[in-house]
Structure 1
Amino acid sequence: MAEIQLSLSVLLPILLLLYFLKLLWSRRHYPPGPLAFPIIGGLWRIAFEKGIDGMTAIKAAKQYGNVFTLWLGHFPMVFLSGFDAVKEGMVDHSEELLDRGVTPFFEKISEGKGVGFTNGHAWKQQRRLVQMALVKLGVGKRTMEDKIEDEAQQLVEIFASQQGKPFDPELFITNAVSNVTFSLMYGYRWSVEDPNFKKLIKTIEYTLSFGLISISYILYELFPSLMDRLPGPHKKALETSQMLLSLSKEEIRKHREQESTQEPRDFIDYYLREMEKEKNKNDPTSTVDEENLMHSILDIYFAGLENITTVMKWALLILANRPDVQDKIIKEIEDVVGSSNICYDDHKRLPYTHAVIHEIQRYRYPMLVGIARQATRDVHMRGYIIPKGTYIAHNLRSVLLDDEYWETPHKFNPNHFLDKDGNFVARKEFLGFGTGPRSCLGENVARMELFIFLTRLLRVFHFQPPPGVKEFTEEPARGASLPPHPYKVCAIPRNS
């Protein structure tokens, strides 16, 4: 018996070593990356750095190269870092990397519907329909601008009610950004005091905080069948997504009951009319149905809310730390626009203001990393073969901090977007909204919101830290996105 135990104690480590070496050999064609162990893959790297922050993937790229592999348990994720590698992936290989990498958790939430996490014919049809609807509803035109200006005015009134005292702007910004989307999707807005709105925001915040960095999320991605049988935060996250879908379903029911004979009032109206047209065509390949409508609403809402809200929170913080930048913006507005109302087209006449808004997005890009793609066939890139089916993450944050293209990548510097004569310069390296066929659908709306919200607020208020606070920290908090740490700001009326 003792001899058997001794033999096993010697044989087992040898077998494990052979298995590990076989594993390494089978992965030899992938780009280099952190050493991948059985079960955990390269996740030890995240634990070693005490979690994920905005620099985790950038640091890994410095060590392993701008194309590297992080094994998430048993499946590989290839990261593209820096402008050249990301552009090569998103533009030069756009067809091979067109599909969304739908992991088990996001597959469960999306149910293969909507515009955010579908591929092939379904994605093309849904994206085209969303694009047509946005154009029809006035995105990029005065119609959309009027809605944003209404929300900007509401924001001014709420900030004014604080009477220059310290306050947390987060809920008010979230309400304003949400209402732009709500007016597009549902045709109405919610008051910041509405209990249903507050409940909705808490639900969304929980869903966002669950993803990407929580242990429960990682375990679900690695062992979905097992986690479906176990209790935990992942169950609540899945339930909250169903609650949001139920909200859209109820709005669709109301729209059907109140069918408009006029032009479409909102996205739901437009989509329902397209559904009727598709029924008449009797096309068996059509994906224009209520389930896709519900999920598309959810995709559009999530995409717009988190990004723009986070950029706006960063904007107020960054400007409060830099009164000189605020003064330069106001002087430019007074010199060019005077006392007239500012419209979005004025961004062409306000180069410094336009540069500051771009620099805020570049300096504190709100996302950890772009949503993964999946290779539809083997991709030959930079001397490596990325096999078909591999997930690819385009690190847009690394593009905006690429020291080969930005003079002071880790410092706030509006001159990144200005020439020597003070004219605005559009930079090809600015991929704040992505690029290629899967670029952000709401880019035009987002640009309008940021410009109108900020210019309207800065015309009325001077932002500064509360008494006793010298300046705010500009280190981002950790999360699924990279928001600033919670803060209170003083909005001092300029006419005082």
Structure 2
Amino acid sequence: MEFTVHLMDLISLPVLLKLLAVFLIYLVILSGPRNIPPGKSKWNLIASFSFFTNFFKHQEATMQRMTSKYGNIFSMYMGNQLVVFISGYDNIYQVLVKQADVFSDRPTWLPYIKQMTKIGQGIIMNDGYSWKRLRQFTLQNLRDFGMGKSLNEENIFIEIDALSKALTKKEEAVEIKPLITCAISNVIHNVVFGFRFDYEDPEFLDIINTLNDIFRHPGILNPFDYFPLGIGGLIPRAQQLREQRKRVLTKLQSYVYNQIEEHEGSYDPNDIRDFVDLYIKASKEAKEAKDENDVFTKGNIFRVICDLFVAGSESTSTTLDWAFLYMIEYPDVQKKCQQEIQEVYGNKQIKYADRDKLKYVEATLMEIQRCATVGKVYITFKCSACYQKKHKTLKGYFIPENTVIITNLESSNMDSKYWDNPKEFRPERFLDESGELVRNPAFLPFSTGKVCPGETFAKMEMFLVVTNLLQRFTFYREREDCCHDLGRRCASTVQPTPYKLRAIKRT
């Protein structure tokens, strides 16, 4: 008793509480994962919040700063969620190809994904049986219905003609991105719902604006989603973002459900018109078979359709926006493309099946995608439970289960180990001395590993739009003495800062 009194005399209660707090923190740190990639501690909340706030708008500068400090594999915490960023082709290949069985699952528990998939499951942010079944159904039926075949090629040509008419009407310089967005969205809309819109149709423009609200959102990297329960609701900006997401989903859901109901009223199993008819057919067959694992619900098909628009519209239209910017900033490259088109095709319509005849054009499109990596970060995967049994480390680091993995695709397309002077725009790097195309493994416009469902379709759209428009027009800067700095802005895709061009019809 006497000893206790003396000890309390030496250590005051505030000091004792501080020591206890330090001891508890020490225990928590010791109980956490060891040897994870370097980065900011989970206790450094301000640094983490600042990182993710800046990352969405300034990806390139933020990644350069972090990789220069921590290396090509580093970690950050969003609240209690560990996120590991992977840069460099060798590391990305290790994650997405060599250890694909470990890093291929989706982090479906994240707040953003839970809200976006509350109505139904899709093919982008889904996992397990429903993902496999819906993905198989989508790929197979789109392929049979015309994905990569003549039917969709005809739809693309319809939009190329519409684009040409719209450009011909413009007597002054114009922003080409809105027109391209209308064209690409129309192609997908025609495949899914069986009809297209006029570019000035108010309903169509409203749909595009609604989709753009999704593209402008930071998605799973929104730091407001990771505040402890209850605190996020007290922050106006966090509440605003959640309400915005809810409004967008409700609006899109209403439009898609109306289209499905109209299709159900006129459905004929002997006359399959579009993707929605294919869904109705699959849904009826599942009910007749009394399939206990029926995934063909209205909610699920709504999410699949949203995924088709999100994956197939924004990335493709943004890449095309970059393509025409590079054409006006590198007129010599544009001229070489036009000369090759003229020599091979003359005034004949250019088909996708004949793309191998246009070597320089193909090389130019590849170089544009390399220099302007539209999807700079490929998100997201999680580390699955089998990891600890099959692998000890990733490049020497331990990756705990349920870690979110984000790969920096731009770092591969700019990896100096695989590219000579990577920041230089030079289509010839994809051609050998005899003029044949050269493949570089570090070229990752669509990531690597499992093929993106819309990759073939996106390639077809980009090739046909660029070649057929270059055949019909020559593109110039708005003012010849005012060059574009090739600056960029980040949203869900990396976009060029707005610019205008002049489209002069070729004779």
Per-residue deviation at 1:481? 1.9
Q: Which residue of 2 aligns with 1:194?
A: 201
Amino acid at match of 2:285: K
Q: Which residue of 2 aligns with 1:69?
A: 75
Looking at structure 1, the residues matched to 421 and 362 of structure 2 have their Cα atoms a distance apart, in angstroms, of: 19
* Contact 2:113 2:220 (C-alpha < 8 Å) held by counterparts: no
Instruction: Tell me if 1:432 matches 2:445.
Output: yes
Amino acid at match of 1:391: V
> Aligned to 1:483, what secondary structure does the other structure show?
strand
Amino acid at match of 1:169: I
* Contact 1:68 1:80 (C-alpha < 8 Å) held by counterparts: yes
Q: Which residue of 2 aligns with 1:416?
A: 429
The equivalent position to 2:154 in structure 1, one of 131, 136, 146, is 146
Q: Which residue of 2 aligns with 1:286?
A: 294
Per-residue deviation at 1:37? 2.4
Looking at structure 2, the residues matched to 24 and 60 of structure 1 have their Cα atoms a distance apart, in angstroms, of: 23
Map 1:26-105; keep pairs closer than 5 Å: 26-40=32-46, 42-45=48-51, 52-102=58-108, 103-105=110-112
Q: Which runs of 5+ in 2 are unaligned?
A: 1-7
Per-residue deviation at 1:84? 0.9
Q: Specify whether residues 50 and 97 from structure 1 end up closer, same or farther in structure 2 by C-alpha distance, changes over 3 A only.
A: closer
Q: Which runs of 4+ in 1 moved over 6 A?
A: 47-50
Amino acid at match of 2:457: V
Q: Write the deviation string for residues 442-463 of structure 1: whole angstroms up to 9, x where unpaired.
A: 1111001000000111111111
* Contact 1:105 1:224 (C-alpha < 8 Å) held by counterparts: no
Q: Specify whether residues 48 and 303 from structure 1 end up closer, same or farther in structure 2 by C-alpha distance, changes over 3 A only.
A: closer
* Contact 1:38 1:74 (C-alpha < 8 Å) held by counterparts: no
Map 1:109-148; keep pairs closer than 5 Å: 109-111=116-118, 113-148=121-156
Amino acid at match of 2:505: P
Q: Which residue of 1 aligns with 2:459?
A: 447
Number of residues of Structure 1 aligned to a counterpart in Structure 2: 488
Amino acid at match of 2:261: R
Q: 58-67 vs 447-456, which deviates more?
A: 58-67
> Aligned to 1:429, what secondary structure does the other structure show?
coil
> Percent identity of the aligned residues?
29
Q: Which residue of 2 aligns with 1:464?
A: 476
* Contact 2:103 2:381 (C-alpha < 8 Å) held by counterparts: yes
Looking at structure 1, the residues matched to 501 and 123 of structure 2 have their Cα atoms a distance apart, in angstroms, of: 37
Per-residue deviation at 1:196? 1.3
Q: Which runs of 5+ in 1 are unaligned?
A: none
Amino acid at match of 1:308: T
Q: Specify whether residues 264 and 218 from structure 1 end up closer, same or farther in structure 2 by C-alpha distance, changes over 3 A only.
A: same
Looking at structure 2, the residues matched to 118 and 449 of structure 1 have their Cα atoms a distance apart, in angstroms, of: 26
Per-residue deviation at 1:221? 3.5
Looking at structure 1, the residues matched to 184 and 159 of structure 2 have their Cα atoms a distance apart, in angstroms, of: 8
Instruction: Tell me if 1:353 matches 2:366.
Output: no
Per-residue deviation at 1:16? 5.3
Q: Write the deviation string for residues 88-113 of structure 1: whole angstroms up to 9, x where unpaired.
A: 11111111112112321121111251
Instruction: Tell me if 1:474 matches 2:491.
Output: no
Per-residue deviation at 1:348? 0.3
Per-residue deviation at 1:186? 0.7
Instruction: Tell me if 1:267 matches 2:272.
Output: no
**TM-score, reference length from structure 1:** 0.92
Q: Which residue of 1 aligns with 2:3?
A: none
**TM-score, reference length from structure 2:** 0.90
Q: 423-432 vs 8-17, which deviates more?
A: 8-17
Q: Which residue of 1 aligns with 2:370?
A: 362
Amino acid at match of 2:34: R
Q: Highest CA radius of gyration, 1 or 2?
A: 2
Q: What is the CA RMSD across the aligned residues, in angstroms?
A: 2.4
Q: Which residue of 1 aligns with 2:4?
A: none
